[in-house]
């Protein structure tokens, strides 16, 4: 508990943490509203726009995730950059416990903020989508309560797992720019590279890449997602676990 309190104090007393969390929340809300306002069923056959209304209702998460990556990386790399990590390890020599506590605080905070942001983004998107023709009269079945809850809770879980992946990479590299660049490369390089490859290779890459797999938690059946929601979030969880385990292994074997 002492380690958890210490990590919570570090996170909440640093101004950049609140800026990052506020940015994640703001981007999620604003970009979801913007995305929802840009699509319409006008001029299309009933129910044939090809749009996944659940993803449209939560699209801002893909923008809020940038702030989450920065928050999680900085949570560990700043201590290495300033040398305060040595004081942390002097106070608590159990380095695994230090990193585990940091992971719990960062991921837990992101989960709560992600849940709030996803809920309000979803609620804000519904009247916009309805005004743009996504209603039962035009052949669009309203989202069931289960689908909506899965998308909202799943988006928050997606952000929390992304925070763990980022924290793990930060613990491995111990340098802010290098860690942020690496995480963004893991997220976007597979997506960009897959467009240059045959369809079979594209499908494989999208199933194993952390972002394209994890974001499947927002999809509804029949919209061409590479994986089911559960399988997709499991892939991201595996990436996060691998990064954290590597970080745990290295943090106990390197000088602070």
Express each pLDDT in 134-151 by its tens digit: 887 776 766 777 889 999
Hey, is 254 helix, strand or coil? Answer: coil
b/e string for 6-22 if b means 16 or more Cβ within 10 A?
Answer: bbbebbeeeeebeebbe
Q: Which two tokens stand for residue 168?
A: 């793990």
| CA atoms of 36 and 162, how far apart (whole Å) | 24
Task: Judge whether 21 lies within some domain.
Answer: yes
Q: What is the pTM of this model?
A: 0.93
Torsion of CA 36, 41, 43, 47, to 10 degrees: 150
| pLDDT above 80 for 45 | no
Task: Judge whether 185 lies within some domain.
Answer: yes
Give the mean pLDDT of 243-247: 96
In tens, the pLDDT along 123-136 reads 999 999 988 888 87
Task: Judge whether 256 lies within some domain.
Answer: no
| pLDDT above 80 for 63 | yes
Q: Which two tokens stand for residue 187?
A: 């997220």
- Please name the helix (run of DSSP H) or strand (run of DSSP E) that holds residue 41, with its range, or none: none
Task: Judge whether 201 lies within some domain.
Answer: yes
| CA atoms of 162 and 156, how far apart (whole Å) | 10
Q: How many domains would you assign to the chain?
A: 1
Determine the structural domain holding residue 195 and report its residue range.
2-251
In tens, the pLDDT along 166-207 reads 999 999 999 999 999 999 999 999 888 877 777 778 888 889
Q: What is the 3-state secondary structure (H, E, C) of 131-153?
A: HCCCCHHHCCCCCCHHHHHHHHH
Q: Residue 111: pLDDT band by 50, 70, 90 thresholds?
A: very high
pLDDT above 90: percentage of residues in the chain: 60
Task: Judge whether 220 lies within some domain.
Answer: yes
């Amino acid at each position: 508990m002492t380690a958890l309190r210490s990590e919570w104090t570090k996170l909440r007393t640093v101004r950049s943490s609140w800026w990052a969390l506020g940015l994640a929340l703001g981007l999620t809300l604003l970009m979801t509203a913007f995305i929802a306002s840009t699509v319409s069923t006008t001029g299309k056959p009933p129910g044939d726009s090809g749009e996944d209304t659940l993803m449209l209702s939560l699209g801002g998460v893909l923008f809020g995730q940038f702030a989450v990556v920065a928050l999680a990386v900085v949570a560990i790399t700043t201590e290495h950059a300033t040398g305060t990590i040595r004081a942390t390890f002097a106070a608590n020599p159990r380095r695994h416990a230090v990193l585990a506590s940091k992971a719990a605080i960062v991921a837990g905070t992101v989960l709560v903020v992600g849940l709030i942001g996803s809920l309000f983004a979803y609620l804000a998107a519904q009247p916009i989508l309805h005004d743009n023709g996504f209603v039962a009269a035009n052949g669009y079945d309203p989202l069931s309560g289960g689908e909506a809850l899965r998308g909202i809770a799943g988006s928050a879980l997606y952000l929390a797992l992304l925070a763990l992946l980022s924290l793990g990479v930060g613990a491995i590299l111990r340098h802010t720019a290098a860690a942020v660049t690496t995480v963004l490369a893991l997220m976007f390089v597979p997506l960009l590279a897959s467009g240059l490859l045959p369809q079979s290779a594209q499908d494989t890459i999208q199933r194993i890449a952390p972002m394209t797999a994890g974001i499947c938690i927002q999809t509804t059946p029949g919209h061409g997602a590479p994986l089911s929601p559960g399988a997709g979030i499991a892939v991201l969880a595996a990436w996060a676990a691998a990064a954290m385990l590597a970080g745990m292994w290295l943090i106990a074997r390197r000088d602070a």
